[in-house]
Structures are given as structure tokens and as C-alpha cells.
Amino acid sequence: MEKLLRPKEDHRWDLEGVEFAIDERIGDPELFIGRAGELEFLYKWAANIRRKISRSIAFLGRRKIGKSLVLERLYNILYSEHKGVIPFYYEFTEGDRSGREFLTDFTVSFYMQVVGYYTRDITWNRRAVQPDRQMPDIGALLEEIAPLSLPNKGEITHHLESNLRVSELEKPPYEYVIRAVGVPRGFATSVSVEDQVVQMLDEFQYLNMHIDAGVEEKPCKAYMSPAESRVAPLLITGSLMGVVSRELMRWLPQRFTEVSVPKMDASESAEMTLNYAGFFGHSISRETAEYIVHITNNVPGRIADLLTPNIGKPEISTSGDVDGALAWEVGKGRIRSDWEEYLSHAMNGVNSVNLRKITYFLCRHEGEWYYPSQLKEAMSLDLDEEKLRGELKLLH
């Protein structure tokens, strides 16, 4: 796979030898451009899991920066290599579920991906990660596995039967969560298992938001011990970057190395823009591509949103067309709805009336600069400056 980590001069990847065990949300794999530095870093980190020296990572970046895409591509590379590091991908989703339901879903998803890795049948992996999946229960999975011939079948069966028994007991909800998050490490530390596991956990903030752990309001604390594993370390991401960072600092101190996902390199972004434009039928020059990169602040998801066609949205050829498409997106497109959702999450987590007023004021005066003392005067805020700085830091 070394050649894969050396993209061509146009930042495109040589995909020969890569088996796409899971679908990448980008769609056509050829749309994945650049991110050479990030993939090389994570690839080396994953390779060092075999030497048991890699520590858990929080892969953090702003929304639409491409975190999940990088994880999915890394997953497919590791699956294709088949060198003893089993990739496990799990996305925490919106929608409440009990601790018992989480135990079943997490256990089944993990072992389906293990079976897919060993049998080289990607059907198992696809079923395990598809967003609208209807997962079998643990008993049904045991029946599916029974006729198969695969490595470590005894351990897989033993762990599944054990978790099935636990799921049938009446326990405090948090105990189910603790049991669930220990599943990958439990398998990787089995005496007969020589493989390691890399746990790719996406949208980590939803663990605390949507898993009912009973009296324990922060179920992420269940990872206090598993996050220190060297045979099944975690690679977590979250679209609510500030929430994830804050909760790691407070509830899982010193358990994760935070790695910031940077913007794409400008030349990578330009090539990506030209590539997407070609796929969508836009005829643009490199100069126009560079203008799109500029107004989207090098954010890959925003570039894709801007170039995606829609009814009533201008086709893009010139910089003027770009401005028209951006106005359409900001007025009623994906960019508007995405930011409304993002702000809703942020404001729901903020109880301060002053902070909500500050947010509204700054949005109305976008492009203008205010020092805290100026903001206090302009808004007639009844706050001392130190408190105001704290509110602004939280908002940032």
C-alpha cells in the first residue's frame, strides 16, 4: 500500500489493490482528492498498533472538513492489506437508545466486521456499517456464524454467547454500556487472538447525548480504561468539535491525544474543485476553482455543497456564477440548513441568555470587529469583562 500513500502530481490516488469493504460517503472513490499528510500519519499510527505502541487519538476538526472520509479510506486500506490490524467502524447516531440496546448493537456490529475481515466477504462489513441497517440480534448472529470456517471462531462464539447472557439479565443501564465498550479490547486480548483492532468511532458526542446510561449522565466515562488499550486503541471524531474536546478533557483526561484536522492544502483544494466540477458537468477554469476555494475557506464539504446542482441554482462557469450559487446556498440550500442545524445544537447546549444575544448580534454584524469592551458597550451588557471573555471563549 506504500504507493497509495504517494498521490500523483494532481493529488489523485492510485486505487489499485484497494478493496472497498465499506462504502465511502464521498460516493465515487475517484472523488477523494489529497489528504496525503493526514492519511500517512494515521496509516503509520495504525501500523504501530501491531507493535502495541499507539495511543488513542481524538481526530478533531470543524464540520465538513472531511474527518469521516479520511477514516473510511483508512478503514478500506487496512482491510485490503490484511496485515493483522482489524478495522472496526462505528458511528454514534442521533436517536435515543437504552444501554441494553447499545450493548447488542455495538457487539453485533463489531463481530460482523471481524467476520468480514477473516472471511474476506465484504457483505458482512457493509451490513454492519450501513446507516439504515437492521442488525440481527446476538442470537441470530451466532446462528449465521455457526456454519462458517474462520480463524478464532471459538473466541468469537464465546464472547458473543457471554454478551448474549449479559443482555438477558436485568442490570443498571450503565453496566451494559461498560460491557459494550469493552468488547473490542476483550477480543484483542484473548490469548489465542494474535490480531489487533483499531476502533474508529465517529460522531463521538452522540454517546453522551443519546445513550441512556441510567443514573450515569456521561456514559463516555465507560471509556476510561478501554481508551488506554494498546491492542485496540480508539480513533474518535465528532462534528461538534468543541463538545468532544471539552468532554474528553473533563471526563477522560489524559486518555486521548488530540490531533487537529487542518484545512486542505490550497493546491489539493483546487484539484478537488476541478474534479468535482467535472463530475457535475461544470466547465470552470483553474482561476475559478481557486476562487471557489477562497470563498469556501478550503472546507471540502462546502466546496461540494457549492458545486452540487439543484433546481434554480446557477450552473457554474465564471466567478459571477459562483457568487450566484453561493447566494442560493446561503438562502435556501444545504449550506443554510447545515448551519441552522449546527447552531441549533450549539444553542441547545447554552443556557446563557447573554450568550444567545451575543450570537445574534455578531451574526447581524458579520465582518465587523469588536473587542470585549466594545461589545459590552454596544450591547449594554451587564457583565464584567472577565465574565464576557469567558462567554466568548465558550461561543468560539
Where along the chain do its domains lie?
Answer: 2-260, 266-335, 350-395
Pairing of strands 57-60, 196-202: unpaired
Instruction: State how far the Cα of 51 lies from the Cα of 238, in Å rounded to an integer.
Output: 27
Query: Mean per-residue pLDDT for 131-158?
Result: 91
pLDDT at 137 over 60: yes
pLDDT tens across 206-240, in order? 999 999 999 999 999 999 999 999 999 999 998 77
Q: Which helix (H) or strand (E) holds 300?
A: helix 300-307
The DSSP annotation for 58-86 comes to EEE--TTSSHHHHHHHHHHHHHHH-SSEE
Nearest to 289 by CA among 299, 279, 302, 303: 303
Q: Output the pTM of the full model.
A: 0.84
8-state DSSP, 5: G
pLDDT at 343 over 90: no
Residue with cell 495511543: 55
pLDDT-based confidence at residue 394 (cuts at 50, 70, 90): low
* Residues paired with 89 in a beta bridge: 200
pLDDT at 46 over 60: yes
Residue with cell 463489531: 110
Query: Mean per-residue pLDDT for 125-140?
Result: 87
Instruction: State how far the Cα of 58 lies from the Cα of 75, in Å rounded to an integer.
Output: 16
Average pLDDT of the chain is 88
What pLDDT is attached to residue 349? 57
pLDDT at 275 over 70: yes
- Percent helix, percent strand, percent coil in the chain, to nearest 5: 55, 5, 35
What pLDDT is attached to residue 7? 62
